[in-house]
Chain A
Amino acid sequence: MKRRRNSFDLSQLLPVVVATSFAAVLTLLLTLGIQRAAQLQAASSALQLASELRSLPQYFGTELTLAQRGLEARTFVGEPLADIATAREGFDKALVRIDADLEAAGLGESADIQRVRGALDAAWQRFVPLLGALGRHKGSPYADTLAGSRLNATGRALKADVDEALTAQAAANRDVGGALKDLAAGLQDTVGDRGRSLRTFLVIGAAVAALLLALMLYFSLRSRRASADARRAERQVADILGTVREGLFLLDRNLSLGGVHSASLTRILHADIVHGSSFEDLLRPLVPAKTLATAMKFVNLLWKEKVHEDLIDTVNPLSQIEARFTRAGGGVETRHLSFAFRRVKSAAGQGEHLLGIVTDVTDRVQISHELEQAKAENQAQLDLVLQLLRVPAAQLQSFVRDSDMALRKSNAVLKQPGREEGELRAKLNGVFREVHTVKGEAAALALTSIAARVHQLEESLVALRERASIDGNDFIPVVVKLDELMSYLGGIGQFADRLSEVQPKGDTLKSVIPPLLADQVMGAADHSLEQLLAQVVQETAAAHSKRVALACRGLEAIPASYRKAAKDVLIHMARNAVVHGIETPDRRLAASKPETAAVRISFEAVGNEGFVLTVEDDGQGLPFEKILDTALRKGLVTPADAARLERPAVYGLIFRAGFSTATEVTEHAGRGVGLDAVSQTVRGLGGAIGIATADGKFTRFRMKLPTPAGERAATHAA
């Protein structure tokens, strides 16, 4: 792996290394070339000077001859002497320049040149004192006499020096000229060498430059090809990112979003993705604060090398989340999203990024829910059939009819024209009372599947009741559930009708159902109201871990026109007595009461005035303070009213809609609907309810009912 990485690096650096090397070589060649050119120039200059100086000994001879003849002819010799002095200085300067040029040409150490140069210097030094002596003579060289001009002492000395110089000139001409000739020849060779050397450098430099150009062209072509490949790869990546349905994105160690992401990400998250923005900010609108905090911890864990990403994937809090998005046209859309994360490692195995993959799994979740629902419905259907088989067909038909009536009443309540908040809440309570009655009777018949369905409808009603304000739109879930419940009960009605066809009258089901199923419907029996109430009491007591004995008296005398109402009322009251009135066995024993509580229900005629339906328990009595506290908390009474209220008025509060002292909502109590329904039913019959209670001893509800109109007429006729 390491080798591969080096190879990769070298291939990347190769153009730079080669170009740099070639540039260095070229620079070196050029530097040497420039140096050679300078040397060549200096050598040429020295050669030129040497060549020029070769004529000077001859020139000295000419000027000396002119001076000699001038002295002999007694003419003016100042000019040739001045020329000789000037030429001598020029020669000296030229020698200095030649030395400088030789040094510059790199010949300062050349033995041949130095030898020739030494010879030149020696020859010149032999001759130059003679020339220098000519300048020592000052004044005119002539003395004028009547016989004409003749040399004076200065003239004679000058003449002697000129003669001597002229005599030496021939040797100087030979020696200095020869030395200059040798020097020129040596320099000529050097110039030739330097010229060839320079040409060689230039040729090599040109070759290196051409090679460098060729290499640069090669690398440029290769780079263009690589760029084209990179662009093609980039296009392909863009095509993938634009096509893939999953939302793909990268996170760095700061959990900031990378600059590249799939097009689907924006669509799935309904958000603009900004490079460098925080993943936490992106997630914040989608999940609750607690989930967000857990998610960030989880994502941070993925950076730890020791953590196995496949293993911790099982605790990914974002593996399936429910996100709500506001639709462009209004409303809220719920989608199910799944986030997954993978480490993105470099070639060296180091974690560089996290790849985030977000998928819209709404369809999958819905199908899964539907499958689970179908499975649950199948099970529920089976449970329901077993429950239905326990109930005699006639009683089942009666229940379905009563329930259908109650649901139609609920629908009629909804259909009423009220639109104001108060009217809507009154509708809500009206529907609640009706469906609660259905639930009560379903529970009394041990039709728990039906009771659970009604309970779901009640949940919708409770959700509405707890809202600060409601409008008609909020009733859509209620009416949809009402529709579902009617369909459900319609199916049960059909079942009951079919059952009544196969079930012999007065017989139990055991004779008409298979033996195995018969075992499960052992309890099937004729349900009189007393039996029904006994079942309600026992099931409610069992659910609340209480022991209760029910005693009924006179229920068979309930007039036919009151039976339905009495049944609804008594189911509520009996359940209420067990849930709220009766204490647990421990508390009863602690209060020196029998472990098994007593609930007594009686119906009796009161002369011609009507009837009294009584429900009494020997439980803890009505909790005055608790009722008052609950009423205050729910805003049913003001603190000022509470201070003035008499006990009977406080007890009367328990019949108000939504009132319940229960701290927990169960299928048996807690909605605050039962006693409201009882009150409505009794008042609907023209009756009244009285309460008697003693703390820790008993509670008694006496419901006075008038004689039904039909029976009054019959009595009068008699």
Chain B
Amino acid sequence: MSLQGEIGTFVSAVLQYFDTAVQQAAVVGTPYLALGKPPEVFDYTGMIRVSGKRKGVVYFTAPKGMLSVMLMRMQETDMSDANLRDLVGEVANTLSGNARKDFGRNFIISTPSVVTGSSSTIGYSPDTRPIVVPIDWRTYHANLVVCLN
């Protein structure tokens, strides 16, 4: 599968999550390359690491406000840090599940992990240019970042 197809899989995973779990569609913005400086990281970030045919990291990063409203849509009343972490972890889990299903044995997908804080740094190879896919939902803005070489 080409990088283009792999990004498509990750984007589909995120959109599918909004469609099924949140039950309100998200919109994809025009993807771009993060040049010069690392892509923006929001309050909560769920990520998976990929090795095998390609190496790198894929993460979904979203602001707290967006995740809180997502929880409300899902009939959740608990807006604690743990629950927000769980939510962004679930999105990462969806990324992982779809990647395992579509990419086959040539890829090794790590278990999802979650980092918090907008000042977090996500480690990735300096040789790669992360591809940022803006995900817009209601008035909120999140990013899906694919950084694979």
Interface residues of A (CB under 8 A from B): 327, 329-331, 333, 408, 411, 414-419, 424, 427, 471-473, 475-477, 479-480, 482-483, 486-487
Q: C-beta contact mask, B1-43 vs A, less than 8 Å → 1, else 0? A: 0111001110110001000000000011111110100000000
The answer, yes or no, to whether B98 is at the interface (CB within 8 Å) is yes
Q: Which of chain A's residues have a CB closer than 8 A to the CB of B102?
A: 327, 331, 333
Q: How far is the CA of A330 from the CA of B20 in the complex (A)?
A: 12
Q: Is the CB of A411 within 8 A of B101?
A: no
Q: Is the CB of B129 within 8 A of A417?
A: no
Q: How far is the CA of A716 from the CA of B86 in the complex (A)?
A: 67
Given contacts A331-B12, A417-B29, A475-B31, 17 further A-B contacts (CB under 8 A): A329-B101, A330-B16, A411-B35, A415-B30, A419-B136, A424-B30, A473-B8, A476-B7, A476-B31, A476-B133, A479-B30, A479-B131, A480-B3, A483-B129, A486-B33, A486-B129, A487-B129
Q: How far is the CA of A415 from the CA of B40 in the complex (A)?
A: 13
Q: Is the CB of B27 within 8 A of A419?
A: yes
- For chain B, residues 96 to 138, give those with C-beta under 8 angstroms from any C-beta of chain A: 98, 101-102, 129, 131, 133-134, 136
Which chain B residue shows the least CB distance to A334?
B5
Known contacts A411-B33, A483-B33; decide if A330 and B28 are in contact (CB<8 Å). no
Q: How far is the CA of A424 from the CA of B9 in the complex (A)?
A: 22
Kindly name the residue among A408, A417, A419, A473 whose own CB sees the greatest number of chain B CB atoms within 10 A.
A473
Known contacts A329-B16, A408-B35, A479-B33; decide if A472 and B101 are in contact (CB<8 Å). no
Q: Which of chain B's residues have a CB closer than 8 A to the CB of A329?
A: 12, 16, 98, 101
Q: Is the CB of B12 within 8 A of A475?
A: no
Q: B31 contacts which of A418, A419, A479 (Cβ < 8 Å)?
A: A479
Smallest beta-carbon distance A426→chain B, Å: 11
Supply 27 A–B pairs (Cβ within 8 Å), ascending by A: A329-B12, A408-B35, A411-B32, A414-B31, A415-B30, A419-B27, A419-B29, A419-B136, A424-B30, A427-B30, A471-B27, A472-B27, A472-B28, A472-B29, A472-B30, A472-B133, A473-B8, A473-B11, A475-B31, A476-B4, A476-B11, A479-B30, A480-B2, A480-B3, A482-B33, A483-B129, A483-B131
Q: Closest 7 interchain pairs by CB?
A: A472-B28, A414-B32, A415-B32, A479-B31, A472-B29, A475-B30, A473-B28
Q: How far is the CA of A681 from the CA of B15 in the complex (A)?
A: 39
Q: How far is the CA of A432 from the CA of B129 in the complex (A)?
A: 21
Interface of B is mostly: mixed
Smallest beta-carbon distance A487→chain B, Å: 8
Q: How far is the CA of A529 from the CA of B11 in the complex (A)?
A: 45
Smallest beta-carbon distance A575→chain B, Å: 29
Smallest beta-carbon distance B148→chain A, Å: 10
Kindly name the residue among B3, B9, B33 whose own CB sees the greatest number of chain A CB atoms within 10 A.
B33
Which chain A residue shows the least CB distance to B19?
A330
Interface of A is mostly: helix
Which chain A residue shows the least CB distance to B5?
A334
Interface residues of B (CB under 8 A from A): 2-4, 7-9, 11-12, 16, 27-33, 35, 98, 101-102, 129, 131, 133-134, 136
Q: Which of chain A's residues have a CB closer than 8 A to the CB of B2?
A: 480
Which chain A residue shows the least CB distance to B130?
A483
Q: Which of chain A's residues have a CB closer than 8 A to the CB of B134?
A: 472
Q: Which of chain A's residues have a CB closer than 8 A to the CB of B98?
A: 329
Q: A480 contacts which of B11, B101, B131, B136 (Cβ < 8 Å)?
A: B131
Q: How far is the CA of A417 from the CA of B28 in the complex (A)?
A: 11
Q: Which of chain B's residues have a CB closer than 8 A to the CB of A330?
A: 12, 16
Q: Which of chain B's residues have a CB closer than 8 A to the CB of A427?
A: 30
Which chain B residue shows the least CB distance to A331?
B12
Q: Which of chain B's residues have a CB closer than 8 A to the CB of A477?
A: 4
Q: Which of chain B's residues have a CB closer than 8 A to the CB of A416?
A: 30
Q: Which of chain A's residues have a CB closer than 8 A to the CB of B11?
A: 473, 476
Which chain B residue shows the least CB distance to A479?
B31
Smallest beta-carbon distance A48→chain B, Å: 98
Q: Is the CB of A476 within 8 A of B33?
A: no
Q: How far is the CA of A425 from the CA of B133 in the complex (A)?
A: 18
Q: Which of chain A's residues have a CB closer than 8 A to the CB of B8?
A: 331, 473, 476
Q: How far is the CA of A168 from the CA of B115 in the complex (A)?
A: 145
Which chain B residue shows the least CB distance to A417?
B29
Q: Is the CB of A471 within 8 A of B28?
A: yes
Smallest beta-carbon distance A675→chain B, Å: 25
Q: Which of chain A's residues have a CB closer than 8 A to the CB of B31?
A: 414, 472, 475-476, 479
Q: How far is the CA of A647 from the CA of B61 in the complex (A)?
A: 55
Q: How far is the CA of A473 from the CA of B8 in the complex (A)?
A: 8
Smallest beta-carbon distance A513→chain B, Å: 29
Which chain A residue shows the least CB distance to B28?
A472
Q: How far is the CA of A589 from the CA of B116 in the complex (A)?
A: 75
Kindly name the residue among B4, B8, B11, B32 whose own CB sees the greatest number of chain A CB atoms within 10 A.
B32
Q: Which of chain B's residues have a CB closer than 8 A to the CB of A419?
A: 27, 29-30, 136
Q: Which of chain A's residues have a CB closer than 8 A to the CB of B32?
A: 411, 414-415, 479
Which chain B residue shows the least CB distance to A487?
B129
Which chain A residue shows the least CB distance to B13?
A329
Kindly name the residue among A424, A472, A477, A486 whose own CB sees the greatest number of chain B CB atoms within 10 A.
A472
Smallest beta-carbon distance B16→chain A, Å: 6
Q: Which of chain B's residues have a CB closer than 8 A to the CB of A424?
A: 30
Smallest beta-carbon distance A472→chain B, Å: 4
Smallest beta-carbon distance A333→chain B, Å: 7
Smallest beta-carbon distance B53→chain A, Å: 11
Q: How far is the CA of A348 from the CA of B33 in the complex (A)?
A: 69
Q: Which of chain A's residues have a CB closer than 8 A to the CB of B4?
A: 476-477, 480
Q: How far is the CA of A476 from the CA of B28 in the complex (A)?
A: 10
Q: Which of chain A's residues have a CB closer than 8 A to the CB of B7?
A: 476, 480
Q: Which of chain B's residues have a CB closer than 8 A to the CB of A480?
A: 2-4, 7, 131
Q: How far is the CA of A419 from the CA of B131 in the complex (A)?
A: 18
Q: Which of chain B's residues have a CB closer than 8 A to the CB of A486?
A: 33, 129
Which chain B residue shows the least CB distance to A419?
B29
Smallest beta-carbon distance A478→chain B, Å: 8
